[in-house]
Amino acid sequence: MHFVPENPDYSLSPYTGLTRKHWIDAAKYILGGVFRHVKTMDSPVLVPRYETEITYPNSHTPAWKVQAEYYEGLARSFFIAAPLIANEPDVVLNGKNLREYYKKHILRSCTPGDEQYVLSYSDMDKDSAPSFGLHTYQQTVETCAIVIGLVTTKKEIWDTYTKEEKDIIASFIHDYAEGTTATQNWRLFNMLDLAFLHMMGYEIDKSIMREHAQAILSYYAGDGWYRDGHTFDYYSAWAFQVYGAIWCKWYGYDNEPYIAAAFEKNSNELMKTYDRFFDKDGHVTMWGRSSIYRNAATAAFAANFNLQNPTVNPGLARRIASGALMQFFSRDDILYEGAPVLGFYGPFTPMVQGYSCAESPLWLGKAFLCLELDENHPFWTAKEENGVWDKMEDGESLETVLDGPALDIVNHHDNGSMELRTGKILKKAGDSNARWCYAKLSYNSHYPWESDLPSGLSASAYVLKEDDISRTEQINSILWSGVRNDVLYRRAMFDFDTSMDYHWTSIIDLADFPVANGLMRADKLRLFHKPVDIYLGSYGFPCPDAEYHIESCGNAKAVVISGHGSDGKWRHMAMTIYGGWDDIFVEKSQGTNPDTSESFIIFAHARREKVFSYDPYVLISQVITKEGEIGFSEDDVFSISEVKYTDKEECGGYGPVTMKMKTGKSYIIDFSLIEGRIML
């Protein structure tokens, strides 16, 4: 049964009706479902598993990961439980007093000899092969959640431990705080562990703290975004911008003022545009790894209030946080026997990574850290606002370009969606999960990414099929060249391997720009192998009852598809092909969409026969979407009035291509500058 807010307040919260009380109710709702499976006060926080091949612990993982699963359940549920306990010290769920439960189990997890002892860093590392400082363990991640919760419940839990019990916990935390960690967002876990110990009067190695802090600062790419390893994704929001702000408050301002000031500046920089990453309903887009964390992406808003000079708009922050909460909590399918499933909505194994366990989705509990802000805080008392969505005009698509992280956000007024185009991506060829998470041509808040079809074709992606050598090529790298004259230029590379010479890589240079309700593409082929069949997929259309038809206008052809989404509302999608394409068709798929079991994808197709032949190079297409009873007009579907080429053959092999739209605006597609402005 999904969460239903009682007595919503549409005066204070005109968009969602949610208040602080509803957030407390939602915390009890989700944690109550988890605690259905905690049989006694001695039982660990473990939820039923329905997937055992990808997630840990399984036959492929070491024995210590059994203990790691205990710790994930304990720590991540504590994200939700700690604010509840601080607000209601005697709160009881499923017959368990939460304050007493977590007090007991945190101590047990840190106590050698206890059956729920989750093993210290030293215990695990001493039995490992020589590590050269490279061994990392899942428990490092969870220590951070534990210390955040212990600070939140300092009065209710930490202060009630004896000196001996505090020392046991502190020793355990200290071992991980100064142990090896992954040299990306994980450094922040060690930093908060060290900051916690320092706050509680324990000695720490400040040199280690400074080393981690300077490294985190060096990952900053601009526009409020940090590079996490090799990529950009929501980890900037739910790790760097959440933990960084807490670290400033706990330790940085007093002990590392320069670094703390930089963290504060970077957080406030994110707040300038981060609201635009959410659609008109405040919904999160399925993008990047760990999407099972769902609405944790909103945690950065409330975290900004940990800073000395926060700049986030409180009414807008709560509106998005509440909208994202209801995006998931209003659905029955996000739960499996009361606990959040391994999926974005329902169970969806294509998006699941091997570092997760059944309890990992409880990371969404970070969104509940807003409950650490008291009831009189502006986050709770300000009237909800909807930011740019209330300022846009009919037909407007607002584009925000962030060159630092190579992210281009488009907010479409008419359909309320957010479309995201990404760059600076390089993933290992053959890693389909990474490709789906990062290397789609665009991501849409209304249409989550879809995994590959059995045919090898893929939604929101180009696929090359070279039957003469029995090879199918997929995009594993997208390079960024930026926006010029309202057109975004990127480079898509197929099965790219850095050990190979560049000219042996199949390439499509991408040029796209927003139209009302979607995106227009005018992409240029740079292929070294032919014959080849080229396919381009629309977004997956998650409407099992969908019906479609084909329309034509001059030399343009379109598929228009309509159906009812999982919410019962009408949805419409249209894909239009212009020059360069041969045909367009639809495939139905089963089990590849995270929203519904059945889905449809529209595909454009073109074939090129000879390697050295002057054939059409520029592939022009459009994908638009809409919700509601009324579908598209002819001008929506066929939005181009004229295409002009420089070359007399009208292939687009050289020179600008001018596209005149029926709105009266023209776009000049010019690939001549892309080569010298490529960024990774």
pLDDT at residue 313 in the model? 98
pLDDT at residue 60 in the model? 84
Say yes or no: 378 and 396 in one domain: no
Report pLDDT digits (tens) over 514-569.
Answer: 999 999 999 999 999 999 999 999 999 999 999 999 999 999 999 999 999 999 99
Report pLDDT digits (tens) over 428-481.
Answer: 999 999 999 999 999 999 999 999 999 999 999 999 999 999 999 999 999 999
CATH number, domain of 91, equals 1.50.10
How much is the average pLDDT of 573-580?
96
How much is the average pLDDT of 175-184?
94
Does residue 5 lie within any of the structural domains? no
Phi, psi of 673 (to 5 degrees): -100, -5
Does residue 150 lie within any of the structural domains? yes
Which amino acid, residue 457?
Answer: L
Say yes or no: 384 and 400 in one domain: no
Confidence grade of residue 582 (pLDDT, cut at 50, 70, 90)? very high
Does residue 153 lie within any of the structural domains? yes
Tally of domains within the chain: 2
What is the sign of the dihedral through the CA atoms of 435, 439, 440 and 444?
A: positive
Q: Are 69 and 81 in contact (CB under 8 A)?
A: no
pLDDT at residue 674 in the model? 95
Say yes or no: 480 and 528 in one domain: yes
Does residue 2 lie within any of the structural domains? no
- In the three-class reduction of DSSP (H, G, I as helix; E, B as strand; rest coil), residue 523 is classed as strand
Say yes or no: 350 and 298 in one domain: yes
Give percent helix, percent strand, percent coil of the chain, each to the nearest 5.
35, 25, 40
Say yes or no: 168 and 213 in one domain: yes
Say yes or no: 477 and 364 in one domain: no
- pLDDT beyond 60 at 679: yes
- The domain boundary residue, chosen from 389, 407, 423: 389
Strands (E), 52-106: 92-93, 96-97
Say yes or no: 373 and 460 in one domain: no
How much is the average pLDDT of 161-176?
98
Q: Are 584 and 444 in contact (CB under 8 A)?
A: no
Does residue 495 lie within any of the structural domains? yes
Report pLDDT digits (tens) over 360-390.
Answer: 999 999 999 999 999 999 999 999 999 999 9
Residue of 131 and 678 predicted with greater confidence: 678
Which amino acid, residue 30?
Answer: I
Say yes or no: 417 and 268 in one domain: no
- Sequence-distant (6+) residues with CB within 8 A of 4 are none
Phi, psi of 486 (to 5 degrees): 75, 10
Confidence grade of residue 129 (pLDDT, cut at 50, 70, 90)? low
Say yes or no: 460 and 327 in one domain: no
pTM: 0.97
- In the three-class reduction of DSSP (H, G, I as helix; E, B as strand; rest coil), residue 249 is classed as helix
For the chain, what is the radius of gyration of the CA atoms? 26
Say yes or no: 399 and 366 in one domain: no
- In the three-class reduction of DSSP (H, G, I as helix; E, B as strand; rest coil), residue 268 is classed as helix
DSSP character at residue 240: I
Work out the percent of the chain whose per-residue pLDDT is above 70: 99
Confidence grade of residue 502 (pLDDT, cut at 50, 70, 90)? confident
DSSP character at residue 367: G
- The domain boundary residue, chosen from 389, 409, 427: 389
CATH number, domain of 589, equals 2.70.98
How much is the average pLDDT of 160-179?
97
Among 303, 335, 332, smallest CA distance to 317 is for: 303
Structural domain for 277, as ranges: 24-389
HSE-up (13 A, CA, CB side) for residue 227: 18
Report pLDDT digits (tens) over 202-219.
Answer: 999 999 999 999 999 999
Give the Cα separation of 61 and 651 in Å (integer).
Answer: 54
Say yes or no: 360 and 396 in one domain: no
- pLDDT beyond 80 at 262: yes
- Sequence-distant (6+) residues with CB within 8 A of 303 are 241, 242, 245, 246, 267, 369
Phi, psi of 676 (to 5 degrees): -85, 0
- The domain boundary residue, chosen from 365, 389, 413: 389
Give the Cα separation of 360 and 549 in Å (integer).
Answer: 42
Report pLDDT digits (tens) over 325-356.
Answer: 999 999 999 999 999 999 999 999 999 999 99
pLDDT at residue 125 in the model? 79
- Sequence-distant (6+) residues with CB within 8 A of 648 are none
Give the Cα separation of 583 and 87 in Å (integer).
Answer: 61
Does residue 14 lie within any of the structural domains? no
Does residue 272 lie within any of the structural domains? yes
Confidence grade of residue 135 (pLDDT, cut at 50, 70, 90)? confident
- pLDDT beyond 90 at 132: no
Does residue 461 lie within any of the structural domains? yes
Average pLDDT of the chain is 96
Say yes or no: 431 and 457 in one domain: yes
Q: Are 46 and 358 in contact (CB under 8 A)?
A: yes
Alpha-helix residue ranges (DSSP H) falling in 126-256: 138-152, 163-177, 187-199, 206-218, 235, 241-247, 253-255
pLDDT at residue 128 in the model? 63
Report pLDDT digits (tens) over 61-107.
Answer: 887 788 899 999 999 999 999 999 999 999 999 999 999 999 999 99
How much is the average pLDDT of 241-264?
98
